[in-house]
């Protein structure tokens, strides 16, 4: 067996990992060197974990137990009492403290030879130099917007003359009993923006359904939040963290549900609907985190081929996983070079088109600014330009752009500009 550093009791913890690293396997990369060199590479690999919540806690623990010694974690949140049932690195006394700092300290207390550097803040506050220092970046985020931001940043960092500028992104996500893990090699494989239509915004329930014919307990809760609150507590700002406000909404929704013989309205469901909470399942987090860390381990050591490039998991009715290769899209606004085609009605107004950009699965833009090559269509800011371009909102698209014309769209939430080719429906 090859000799490697860290022998003795400290290294004994990784004896099962070493079985993969001390000899080549049938699928090992041709450049793989068994033993000390690969173990040293693993220990020296600087990894960034984005998110220290349910998924992030599992990822940090797994990385520390997999032989990574230089781990960094960033999260902007503080610990809430509701986190304690699944985010196992936190305790009651930690409520109100930084998630990143507490998680890092907890793992380092148990794994003395591992260094974890915490950052309490937004990923958008860090520049490219910060991200350039890492070998691998792992996302355990619950926000599509944040995923899109880090994806665009990593793609923009790639310099074809500098191989070190390509930073593999391992992304995990969970929703109840469902989850996914994917490996993204910026500019080389399908990126998060290529796959955006797989994460379509939830369809809004028509107001008429809420007001007249509710069919589900969620409809009754939405009615209480949107209609009943405005009627009975107008002028009072709804605070979704105030138990008295949630209790009032629950009572209203329960009475509404009884009126229409709809079962299932509970206080917990009311909280979930009002705060848009998706139930988090600890076992789903564990499975997806394991998949992410497995991919990070393979990327760092080349002991086996990495995932190509998407794994989905579902555990609601049974345990099921499926892997497939998501292809790059030539019209991807981040890693492609063509404008994305959008079919639309030329009689729709610019205002209607802007609103649709927030709902379209391939766009999901909340505050878009639009322009053609020759003119500005609409600016969200500054106020002077917004006022100047506001009259265009009521104009028909057919008056403002030509069939097949390309427009540029920017959004303050993202670092890139989007290109769309507007094609009129016949």
How wide is the angle at C-alpha 172 spanned by C-alphas 57 and 339, nearest 5°? 145
CA distance linking residue 356 with residue 121, whole number of Å: 32
Pairing mode, strands 369-371 and 406-410: antiparallel
Q: Which of 191, 208, 220, 292 is catalytic?
A: 208
**DSSP code string of 241-256:** T-HHHHHHHHHHHHHH
Pairing mode, strands 46-50 and 136-139: parallel
106 is catalytic: no
The three-class DSSP label of residue 400 is: helix
- Non-local CB neighbours of 305 within 8 Å, separated by 6+ positions: 27, 29, 298
Q: How many CB atoms lie within 10 A of CB 389?
A: 19
CA distance linking residue 48 with residue 119, whole number of Å: 10
CA distance linking residue 129 with residue 133, whole number of Å: 7
Residue positions annotated with a catalytic role: 208
């Amino acid at each position: 067996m090859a000799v490697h550093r860290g022998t003795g009791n400290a290294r004994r913890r990784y004896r099962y990992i070493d079985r993969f690293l001390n000899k080549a396997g049938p699928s090992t990369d041709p450049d793989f060197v068994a033993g000390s060199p690969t173990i040293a590479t693993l220990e020296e690999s600087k990894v960034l974990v984005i998110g220290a919540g349910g998924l992030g806690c599992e990822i940090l623990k797994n990385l520390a137990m997999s032989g990574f010694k230089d781990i960094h974690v960033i999260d902007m949140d503080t610990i809430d009492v509701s986190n304690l049932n699944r985010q196992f690195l936190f305790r009651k006394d930690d409520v109100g403290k930084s998630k990143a700092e507490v998680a890092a300290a907890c793992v380092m207390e148990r794994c003395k030879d591992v260094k974890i550097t915490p950052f309490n803040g937004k990923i958008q506050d860090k520049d490219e130099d910060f991200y350039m220092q890492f070998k691998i970046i792992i996302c355990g985020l619950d926000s599509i917007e944040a995923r899109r931001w880090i994806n665009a940043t990593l793609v923009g960092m790639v310099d074809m003359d500098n191989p070190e500028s390509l930073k593999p992104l391992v992304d995990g996500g969970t929703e109840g009993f469902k989850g996914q893990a994917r490996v993204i090699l910026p500019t080389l494989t399908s990126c998060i923006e290529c796959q955006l239509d797989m994460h379509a915004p939830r369809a809004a329930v028509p107001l008429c359904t809420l007001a007249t014919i509710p069919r589900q307990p969620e409809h009754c809760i939405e009615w209480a939040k949107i209609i009943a609150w405005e009627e009975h507590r107008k002028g009072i700002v709804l605070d979704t963290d105030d138990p008295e406000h949630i209790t009032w909404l629950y009572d209203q929704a329960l009475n509404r549900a009884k009126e229409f013989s709809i079962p299932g309205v509970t206080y917990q469901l009311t909280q979930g609907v009002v705060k848009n909470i998706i139930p988090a399942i600890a076992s789903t987090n564990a499975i997806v985190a394991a998949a992410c860390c497995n991919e990070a381990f393979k990327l760092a050591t080349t002991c086996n081929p990495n995932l190509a490039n998407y794994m989905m998991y579902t555990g609601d009715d049974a345990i099921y996983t499926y892997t497939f290769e998501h292809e790059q899209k030539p019209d991807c606004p981040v890693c492609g070079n063509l404008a994305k085609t959008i079919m639309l009605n030329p009689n729709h107004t610019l205002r209607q088109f802007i609103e649709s950009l927030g709902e379209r699965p391939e766009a999901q833009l909340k505050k878009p600014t639009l322009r053609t090559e020759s003119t500005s269509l609409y600016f969200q800011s500054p106020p002077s330009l917004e006022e100047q371009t506001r009259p265009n909102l009521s104009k028909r698209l057919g008056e403002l752009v030509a069939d097949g014309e390309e427009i540029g769209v920017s959004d303050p939430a993202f670092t890139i500009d989007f290109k769309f080719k507007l094609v009129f429906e016949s």
